[in-house]
A and B are shown apart, each in its own frame.
Chain A
Amino acid sequence: MGLRMNRTKGDEEEYWNSSKFKAFTFDDEDDELSQLKESKRAVNSLRDFVDDDDDDDLERVSWSGEPVGSISWSIKETAGNSGSSHEGREQLKSRNSFSSYAQLPKPTSTYSLSSFFRGRTRPGSFQSLSDALSDTPAKSYAPELGRPKGEYRDYSNDWSPSDTVRRLRKGKVCSLERFRSLQDKLQLLEEAVSMHDGNVITAVLIFLKRTLSKEILFRELEVRQVALRHLIHFLKEIGDQKLLLDLFRFLDRTEELALSHYREHLNIQDPDKRKEFLKTCIGLPFSAEDSAHIQDHYTLLERQIIIEANDRHLESAGQTEIFRKHPRKASILNMPLVTTLFYSCFYHYTEAEGTFSSPVNLKKTFKIPDKQYVLTALAARAKLRAWNDVDALFTTKNWLGYTKKRAPIGFHRVVEILHKNNAPVQTCRDLKDRQQLLAYRSKVDKGSAEEEKIDALLSSSQIRWKN
């Protein structure tokens, strides 16, 4: 796919003849320009992108010798036009020949002084022009302070959508109120979209949102992908959650609807309120997998609230040993599932299945796989140096089944945990797992008592090693 310009003679002629450079005429304003240095011209051409009424650097001089835009010139112009002189209008026309806009005659109605001295620097927010021009006018010879050419258009009622959009892009004050019919509005939107400018599209969308019913707005945007995406992004940014969800519902984008609703929970700090909110997320059209996760999220927070209240009470009562010996460093609220399980194995290990805080209960409720459960329990008990519990974990049927299936891949994790907690070497011996004992040996300090013990065990003829 390419746009190749074949350099035939004919094409080149056409190319040169279509250049923006016009032949010298007495109205030629390019005079000044051609005397400027190359780079200055390049930099000035940049102004077209930024703001085209920054004419300060270019001094244009009218044929009467006054610099264009100067007060004296302006007065001449204004006076000239107020007499509806044809000549005046013609002069004005030619001075605007830089742009490709169709030339419009300057209107004969005048405008208040205050609007002139508004100045370029406070174009105001994107409010309607009518605000700015509230005063009416007596006819006056008010000076025109170098009106930017684009601004002449303000006073006409013939803005086309593309011109409006161009003005919006330059941050100029622009009323959109005149676009009354749906068709006009849509055309305006189309122009904005083709300009790719986020600000412009947003400005138009704000206008449409205000002046169209929800149903019509949605219906029209449904078939306009770019504008639609922009509206969604905009609604997210300003936090208009309600309209956003209505939109997703309308578009039948069910999964996004669900996720967008769920996202709100991040902003709710109070645990009970958050829990209630999560409840409203259950049953929303998530994917099957995600639905299960959302349900779990709610259930988990529900449990955590109960556990937290209970444990805080126990801790402050000061009667429970585990809390006295190992005071809690943080609340369990909003912690992930595995962290909660660890907490439960740490503080509530021996509890029966019936309580909300027992590890077994958690395992059952959240269908935690055996492997995950055992490793977490192991970590918690090892941290408490409850070696009997560690032993007990190893001797369950589940455990043996696990090692047969997954050893040595998973087992090294066990070794890591044990090593981290300085487990006694006996544990490995009990498992008759020589390989792991060797692995463990490599981790202990050289020449340590541990190493000696290990060596003793390894050389013992009494133990029938599994591997």
Chain B
Amino acid sequence: MFTLKGNRLPAADVKNIIFFVRPRLELMDIIAENVLSEDRRGPTRDFHILFVPRRSLLCEQRLKDLGVLGSFIHREEYSLDLIPFDGDLLSMESEGAFKECYLEGDQTSLYHAAKGLMTLQALYGTIPQIFGKGECARQVANMMIRMKREFTGSQNSIFPVFDNLLLLDRNVDLLTPLATQLTYEGLIDEIYGIQNSYVKLPPEKFAPKKQGDGGKDLPTEAKKLQLNSAEELYAEIRDKNFNAVGSVLSKKAKIISAAFEERHNAKTVGEIKQFVSQLPHMQAARGSLANHTSIAELIKDVTTSEDFFDKLTVEQEFMSGIDTDKVNNYIEDCIAQKHSLIKVLRLVCLQSVCNSGLKQKVLDYYKREILQTYGYEHILTLHNLEKAGLLKPQTGGRNNYPTIRKTLRLWMDDVNEQNPTDISYVYSGYAPLSVRLAQLLSRPGWRSIEEVLRILPGPHFEERQPLPTGLQKKRQPGENRVTLIFFLGGVTFAEIAALRFLSQLEDGGTEYVIATTKLMNGTSWIEALMEKPF
């Protein structure tokens, strides 16, 4: 399998070439280039194209315009809507979903979400209850109900795995992705960016230590690591607050050392044999520990820096409601020192969201500074941010955020990072609004927060899907419900960690499986909203 690249296709002794792509116009240009650069002298090869998850009229039109449409023998679609990333995590990996749904009113990704959900139901049973909050959630639920009505071929008699489906619009909680995540996995994503469960890291710390080799070249290529729950140690530390990771790693180090020391105790052949058989597992564990120790060191370099501390202080001030109505000095300094534009945008948007919009004077001031420092063309991005509700003037002069914050207990002063008792540990004090809503839905139910729900954007609703009597779930006392929570517009690793925390609570009552249109963080989110030349 080759990555799609411009110009000529890589040489290979094959008869058929299949392009396996998402339906994006830019990719069509590259494909056309590939097809047109085919060496006529060589043996003719057959071209096929497979769109994921759907064919696109516009893309095929583009191929036609470029004169290559006829070169394809098969033009198909591969209906991969939801991709499993882990045992409890599914994503559509649709980068454009948020912008399309909330800025452009294009609901195609919602349609795919609904299709993905229908597939899940076909495999795991009809979900008896659907809860939702937000316009898009409402649309998806409507589509699901309509699809079920239209395509009831055979009645689904699979015993349902899920008790509930919770559909949540991203714009119900615009705050959470803007804040810097503080879990181990969250920080890896914030600093290095996790792509499809892989992360690329600076290689220096991962060079194998060779004795007596002083001066040997350090690897120049980034170290690529796969991150998922198949790795025992990673599964243990990924969702912890970063400050709690160190102690886990040092405990692990002692355990592994002790295990290796056991070789001295192995006296009999049987004991030696047993030790040797354990060796691969121990070596893997040691390798894993080495990797994560290096990663933790890299992260620590960032989190102990003065700038990180200053930034975090400002974020936490905003989230706890302090000074959200005036121009912030740290933000001004960042602009003056020309820190990354996205960093600045995240902060001003955070302030705006925590203030239900900025006073016109403050907004104009920020905009001016940004345009003069980074370029006037960013008017377009600022406009997009306003449309998304992230950076806008305050209307009605009323700040709703304190009410929401207090009612839902979003800011928890006494947070325990080592042994957390509440989801607010993922941001060391701030409980993600989205997860809080899920938590309250489970217990005691949304009726208790009707007023707050009405302040948040979009309708909230409940639907039931009938099950044949034989299939109705009877929960044993103490048995957990299973809720599928679908974030329409993206989800962060910190939110995932918070949901996993809820899942493993003794008397939580609910276990969560998480689905989303995209795994993201504040940076990738804002980046997708920036206007670029087309």
A interface residues (Cβ-Cβ under 8 A, vs B) = 1-5, 12, 15, 19-21, 33, 38-39, 41-46, 48-50, 98, 121-123, 125-126, 171, 196-199, 202-203, 206, 225-226, 229-230, 232-234, 237-239, 259, 262-263, 265-267, 289-290, 293-294, 296-297, 300, 334-338, 366, 368, 372, 375, 409, 413, 416
In the assembled complex, how far is the CB of residue A57 from the closest CB belonging to chain B, in whole angstroms? Answer: 13
Closest to B24 in A: A237
Q: Would you call B336 and A171 a contact (CB within 8 A)?
A: no
Closest to B159 in A: A38
B367 adjacent to chain A (CB < 8 Å): yes
Q: Would you call B106 and A229 a contact (CB within 8 A)?
A: yes
In the assembled complex, how far is the CB of residue A50 from the closest CB belonging to chain B, in whole angstroms? Answer: 5
Q: Would you call A49 and B104 a contact (CB within 8 A)?
A: no
Q: Known interface pairs A198-B111, A266-B533. Does A230 touch B379 (Cβ–Cβ under 8 Å)?
A: no
Closest to B156 in A: A42
In the assembled complex, how far is the CB of residue A163 from the closest CB belonging to chain B, in whole angstroms? Answer: 12
Closest to B129 in A: A2
B16 adjacent to chain A (CB < 8 Å): no
Q: Would you call A233 and B104 a contact (CB within 8 A)?
A: yes
Q: Would you call B58 and A5 a contact (CB within 8 A)?
A: no
Closest 8 CB pairs of A and B: A229-B105, A198-B108, A266-B533, A297-B376, A48-B151, A2-B462, A336-B375, A337-B372
Q: Would you call B464 and A45 a contact (CB within 8 A)?
A: no
Q: Would you call A225 and B122 a contact (CB within 8 A)?
A: no
Distance of A201 Cα from B365 Cα, bound (Å): 42
Q: Known interface pairs A2-B462, A2-B464, A15-B466. Does A45 touch B375 (Cβ–Cβ under 8 Å)?
A: no
Q: Would you call A196 and B155 a contact (CB within 8 A)?
A: no
Taking a contact as CB atoms closer than 8 A, the residue among A98, A125, A230, A234 that contacts B60 in the complex is A125
Q: Would you call A230 and B105 a contact (CB within 8 A)?
A: yes
Q: List residues of chain A with CB within 8 A of the CB of B77.
A: 50, 171
Q: Would you call A266 and B532 a contact (CB within 8 A)?
A: yes
Q: List residues of chain A with CB within 8 A of the CB of B534.
A: 239, 266-267
Closest to B62 in A: A238
Distance of A461 Cα from B436 Cα, bound (Å): 61
Q: Known interface pairs A38-B157, A125-B64, A263-B531. Does A199 touch B57 (Cβ–Cβ under 8 Å)?
A: yes
In the assembled complex, how far is the CB of residue B322 from the closest CB belonging to chain A, in whole angstroms? Answer: 17
Q: Known interface pairs A125-B60, A202-B57, A226-B105. Does A294 touch B376 (Cβ–Cβ under 8 Å)?
A: yes
B284 adjacent to chain A (CB < 8 Å): no
Distance of A232 Cα from B111 Cα, bound (Å): 19
Q: Would you call A233 and B336 a contact (CB within 8 A)?
A: no
Distance of A265 Cα from B337 Cα, bound (Å): 27
A-B contacts besides A229-B106, A375-B336, 13 pairs, CB < 8 Å: A38-B157, A121-B76, A125-B61, A125-B64, A171-B77, A197-B108, A198-B106, A229-B104, A230-B106, A266-B377, A266-B534, A289-B367, A338-B373
B476 adjacent to chain A (CB < 8 Å): no
Q: Would you call A262 and B462 a contact (CB within 8 A)?
A: no
Closest to A341 in B: B372
Distance of A297 Cα from B79 Cα, bound (Å): 46
Q: List residues of chain B with CB within 8 A of the CB of A98.
A: 153
Distance of A375 Cα from B336 Cα, bound (Å): 9
Residue pairs across A and B with Cβ atoms less than 8 A apart, 26 shown, are A2-B462, A4-B464, A12-B469, A20-B153, A21-B154, A21-B155, A43-B123, A44-B153, A49-B115, A122-B75, A126-B57, A126-B60, A206-B57, A226-B105, A229-B106, A230-B106, A233-B100, A234-B58, A238-B58, A238-B61, A259-B383, A293-B376, A336-B376, A366-B372, A409-B329, A416-B337
Q: Would you call A289 and B463 a contact (CB within 8 A)?
A: no
Q: List residues of chain A with CB within 8 A of the CB of B55.
A: 171, 199
In the assembled complex, how far is the CB of residue A48 from the closest CB belonging to chain B, in whole angstroms? Answer: 4
Q: List residues of chain B with CB within 8 A of the CB of A229.
A: 104-106
**Which residue, of B60, B153, B364, B383, has the highest number of chain A Cβ atoms within 10 A?**
B153
Q: Would you call A338 and B372 a contact (CB within 8 A)?
A: yes
Tell me the interface secondary structure of chain A in the complex: helix
Taking a contact as CB atoms closer than 8 A, the residue among A50, A199, A239 that contacts B56 in the complex is A199
B119 adjacent to chain A (CB < 8 Å): yes
Q: List residues of chain B with CB within 8 A of the CB of A233.
A: 100, 104-106
Q: Would you call B118 and A49 a contact (CB within 8 A)?
A: yes
Q: List residues of chain B with CB within 8 A of the CB of A122.
A: 73-75
Distance of A33 Cα from B118 Cα, bound (Å): 20
Taking a contact as CB atoms closer than 8 A, the residue among B147, B156, B336, B531 that contacts A49 in the complex is B147
Closest to A42 in B: B122
Closest to B147 in A: A49
Q: List residues of chain A with CB within 8 A of the CB of B329.
A: 409
Q: List residues of chain B with CB within 8 A of the CB of A125.
A: 60-61, 64, 69
In the assembled complex, how far is the CB of residue B68 from the closest CB belonging to chain A, in whole angstroms? Answer: 12
Closest to A121 in B: B74
Q: Would you call A293 and B104 a contact (CB within 8 A)?
A: no
Q: List residues of chain A with CB within 8 A of the CB of B79.
A: 49-50
In the assembled complex, how far is the CB of residue A2 from the closest CB belonging to chain B, in whole angstroms? Answer: 4
Q: Known interface pairs A202-B57, A289-B364. Does A48 touch B153 (Cβ–Cβ under 8 Å)?
A: yes
Distance of A39 Cα from B154 Cα, bound (Å): 12
Q: List residues of chain B with CB within 8 A of the CB of A33.
A: 154
Q: Would you call B25 and A42 a contact (CB within 8 A)?
A: no
Q: Would you call A266 and B531 a contact (CB within 8 A)?
A: yes
B459 adjacent to chain A (CB < 8 Å): yes
Q: Would you call A293 and B371 a contact (CB within 8 A)?
A: yes
In the assembled complex, how far is the CB of residue B419 from the closest CB belonging to chain A, in whole angstroms? Answer: 36
Q: Would you call A45 and B376 a contact (CB within 8 A)?
A: no
Distance of A375 Cα from B332 Cα, bound (Å): 13
Q: Would you call A237 and B58 a contact (CB within 8 A)?
A: yes
Taking a contact as CB atoms closer than 8 A, the residue among B25, B105, B459 that contacts A1 in the complex is B459
In the assembled complex, how far is the CB of residue A11 from the closest CB belonging to chain B, in whole angstroms? Answer: 9
Q: List residues of chain B with CB within 8 A of the CB of A263.
A: 380, 531
**Which residue, of B118, B151, B379, has the highest number of chain A Cβ atoms within 10 A?**
B379
Q: Would you call A196 and B107 a contact (CB within 8 A)?
A: yes
Q: Would you call B463 and A2 a contact (CB within 8 A)?
A: yes
Q: Would you call B462 and A293 a contact (CB within 8 A)?
A: no
Distance of A251 Cα from B29 Cα, bound (Å): 33
Distance of A268 Cα from B320 Cα, bound (Å): 45
B152 adjacent to chain A (CB < 8 Å): yes
Q: Would you call B156 and A237 a contact (CB within 8 A)?
A: no
Distance of A266 Cα from B533 Cα, bound (Å): 5
Closest to A238 in B: B58
Q: List residues of chain B with CB within 8 A of the CB of A44.
A: 153
In the assembled complex, how far is the CB of residue B249 from the closest CB belonging to chain A, in whole angstroms? Answer: 32
Interfacial residues of chain B within 333-388, with CB under 8 A of chain A in the complex? 333, 336-338, 364, 367-368, 371-377, 379-380, 383
B83 adjacent to chain A (CB < 8 Å): no
Distance of A300 Cα from B463 Cα, bound (Å): 57
Q: Would you call A294 and B76 a contact (CB within 8 A)?
A: no
Distance of A226 Cα from B58 Cα, bound (Å): 18
Q: Would you call B336 and A413 a contact (CB within 8 A)?
A: yes
Q: List residues of chain A with CB within 8 A of the CB of B531.
A: 263, 266
Closest to B375 in A: A336
Distance of A1 Cα from B447 Cα, bound (Å): 12
Distance of A413 Cα from B335 Cα, bound (Å): 12
| Contact string against A for B residues 239-272, beta-carbon threshold 8 Å, 1 for contact and 0 otherwise | 0000000000000000000000000000000000
B409 adjacent to chain A (CB < 8 Å): no
Closest to A289 in B: B364
Distance of A336 Cα from B143 Cα, bound (Å): 47
In the assembled complex, how far is the CB of residue A277 from the closest CB belonging to chain B, in whole angstroms? Answer: 12
Q: List residues of chain A with CB within 8 A of the CB of B466.
A: 5, 15
Closest to B55 in A: A171
Distance of A203 Cα from B55 Cα, bound (Å): 12
Q: List residues of chain B with CB within 8 A of the CB of A265.
A: 377
Q: Would you call B143 and A196 a contact (CB within 8 A)?
A: yes
Distance of A15 Cα from B105 Cα, bound (Å): 37
